[in-house]
Structure 1
């Protein structure tokens, strides 16, 4: 059996940092925080067992290992971009395209989508998962829901839901908070370390690591431990009794979900109004 590959986003972070020789520039380019880029590159170095960068006082320099890896990663990403672009057939005039992270599509949009389609039966909806800024640019969606910091959000973007992280677990998972497994979503600035400082609790190291809040939430729903995720994603599973708060302590998130409407169509406006006034969106109808 072939060994599992490292996550694609690790390679994206490496390629951008190697090209710009700056974690900060790479973070701005791919829509992440500097600490998240640094963490993902460190994870790649640990996985490969070699240093990829020399971290100097005045910036970065590629090691011999990094110089050897860069052209191969660049070629692979170019191939993947070309392969997926071949399936982008364009957008028809009667189609509403919404691009968002898989976590938002799974936990926020999908559970309440029947309500939207019932209200707007003539709208043909296309949902496309996207994470990186260039993916959003290529898709040219009518509505975008991006994950990132307020600084990284578009000037016309609005916060979707809250900007709080909460601790959640399955109702069937019994035990004291301190003794239960912790699930950590990597690639973000916030985590259990930040939460423990606010809560004033000494916690054990996370037992499970995933690459998104949506995956962390799914693991918690299935009873695998306590997750720390955006309140936005938790609205529907909490309402359905799939998950419950494990603590009253919440913390402010450095990265949140931001919505922007890119086309002036009635369908786009209708989708925006529907999602921001839904329970997940965190607002009441005016």
Structure 2
């Protein structure tokens, strides 16, 4: 049986950290958190059975094994870039790349994008979808619409829309709230108990679990149960009539959606202003 290779992301993290001699700089380049880069390199070291870096108080230094591995990883990554380049179609000269939460793409941008395209037909768009903070391609994007905490978003990102959660129910489900299935979003600060306290409304314990607010909203709009999602995502779904608010009361969330743009790109600024106008002023 062939030996299983480590994931490609581990090698990307190693190459970037080796080039910068910094986990933080590597994280900024490849769109991950510093802790994620550190964990991936630690996993690669464990897999290979050797240390690749010396962790020093003022930075990193490659070990002998790290110096031996680096040129081979460089060559392999260059080969992959060359091999894939011929498959990538020519891009238009004016292309705006948007790294975006898939939930925002589905529930905020998707329903309103035709209006942007009519107003700005000269701007071609490429969307790179992501869910968790480590997945956002910061080095590639002109606009970054990320999900996470204020700290994860960074000092240059602005809150997009609302930082509150609202409970929604399928519009066709006319039964008592406490008998309807409840959908919960895992990996995010729990809110159902706080919502029950704030509203005084009883509901069942969660029995369906998903990994994003967008997925929870999609399930709820298709009649699967109550969901508790970011208020900004809910607006189009409520307006279209696929879901209805269980209560007008909202609760604060520890995570929200944030937008950041490349200051050198006028098109990025145009897209940001349009997007913020579609979601209103948030809180």
Structure 1 residue ranges without an equivalent (≥5): 1-11, 13-25, 32-66, 73-77
**Contact 2:180/2:203, CA 8 A, preserved across alignment:** no
**Contact 1:143/1:263, CA 8 A, preserved across alignment:** no
Alignment of 1:61-140 (within 5 A): 71=47, 93-137=93-137, 140=140
Shift of 1:28: 6.7
**Contact 1:28/1:152, CA 8 A, preserved across alignment:** no
Q: Which residue number in structure 2 is paired with residue 182 of structure 1?
A: 182
**Contact 1:186/1:210, CA 8 A, preserved across alignment:** yes
Q: Does 1:220 align with 2:199?
A: no
Structure 2 CA distance, aligned partners of 1:246 and 1:87? Answer: 49
Q: Does 1:253 align with 2:259?
A: no
**Contact 1:145/1:258, CA 8 A, preserved across alignment:** yes
User: 2:35 is matched with which residue: 26, 29, 37?
Assistant: 29
**Which structure's CA Rg is the greater one?**
2
**Contact 1:145/1:259, CA 8 A, preserved across alignment:** yes
Q: TM-score, normalised by structure 2?
A: 0.67
Q: Which residue number in structure 2 is paired with residue 192 of structure 1?
A: 192
Shift of 1:265: 1.9
Q: Which residue number in structure 2 is paired with residue 239 of structure 1?
A: 239
Q: Which stretch shows the higher mean deviation, 182-191 or 88-97? A: 88-97
Q: Which stretch shows the higher mean deviation, 92-101 or 255-264? A: 92-101
- Report the CA distance shift for 1:87/1:152 in structure 2 as closer, same or farther (over 3 A): farther
Q: Does 1:283 align with 2:278?
A: no
Shift of 1:216: 0.4
Q: TM-score, normalised by structure 1?
A: 0.67
Structure 2 CA distance, aligned partners of 1:207 and 1:275? Answer: 34
- Report the CA distance shift for 1:134/1:184 in structure 2 as closer, same or farther (over 3 A): closer
Give the match's secondary structure for 1:107.
helix
Could you list the structure 1 runs, at least 4 aligned residues long, displaced by more than 4 angstroms after superposition: 82-93
Structure 1 CA distance, aligned partners of 2:91 and 2:158? Answer: 24
Q: Which residue number in structure 2 is paired with residue 271 of structure 1?
A: 271
Alignment of 1:5-20 (within 5 A): none
**Contact 2:181/2:208, CA 8 A, preserved across alignment:** yes
Give the match's secondary structure for 2:197.
helix
Shift of 1:150: 1.1
Deviations 1:236-260 (A, max 9, x none): 1111111110122211010000000
How many residues of Structure 1 are paired with residues of Structure 2 in the alignment?
Answer: 219
Deviations 1:33-76 (A, max 9, x none): xxxxxxxxxxxxxxxxxxxxxxxxxxxxxxxxxx9xx749xxxx
